Amino acid sequence: MKRYLTFFLALLLTSTVFAQTGYRVGGKVENFTLKDAQNQAVELANFKDAPLLVVVFTSVSCPYARLYEGRLQTLSQNYAGKGARFVYVNTTIGLEEGSQTDKAQPDRPSTQNFPYLIDEGQQLSKQFGATKAPEVFVLQNSPDGFYLRYKGAIDDNPQAENYVKERYLAGALDALLAGRSVANAERRATGCLIKRF
């Protein structure tokens, strides 16, 4: 019995440690700099004119990310005039991937109307605590920097857009643009697991 109790406590502590990695909703997001697909440096401070910034962690080799390309394109277009900007962050999702595969320009998502950044060594996905591709983080701009207001899933059906019942990201953006807080600020993302190395 003691052995089971010890195992359970160890499991609980381990899951608590993993659950607390990355930014918490309401926390301030530190400035970061990544290279884009043209090897130009892009930093969070470049978006200081945007009331909201949606950081989308994705991977060129993830089928779930490909399923969301059209939806993200539509969201980006619908919210661009309202003050929300989108940025893709391509991160490796497994040990089998190499940097050449992840940087391959032909595999770049079709959503090309917003910046596409390369997450070398999973630096930014670790900083944010991203665990899946795709996974979104909504940042709200304020006079003293950006704050995390929503993180997680885009909607409730990654495989079939026609069967989506809840649009989590759109709901979060609507609430923030209306000056309200997000009712459910964390939703578990469904997608390809980002394996740490």
Mean pLDDT (the chain) is: 85
Predicted model pTM: 0.84
CA–CA separation, 3 vs 22, rounded Å?
32
Residue 146 has pLDDT above 70, yes or no: yes
CA-nearest of 148, 128, 129 to 18 is 129
Q: What angle do CA 94, 172, 54 make, to 5 degrees?
A: 45
CA–CA separation, 46 vs 195, rounded Å?
29
Q: Which two tokens stand for residue 126?
A: 């670790």
Residue that wins the pLDDT comparison between 99 and 176? 176
User: Are 73 and 41 a contacting pair, CB within 8 Å?
Assistant: no
Q: Which two tokens stand for residue 45?
A: 């401070």
Residue 20: predicted pLDDT = 52
The domains of the chain, with CATH numbers, are: 24-193 (3.40.30.10)
Residue 21: predicted pLDDT = 84
Confidence grade of residue 74 (pLDDT, cut at 50, 70, 90): very high
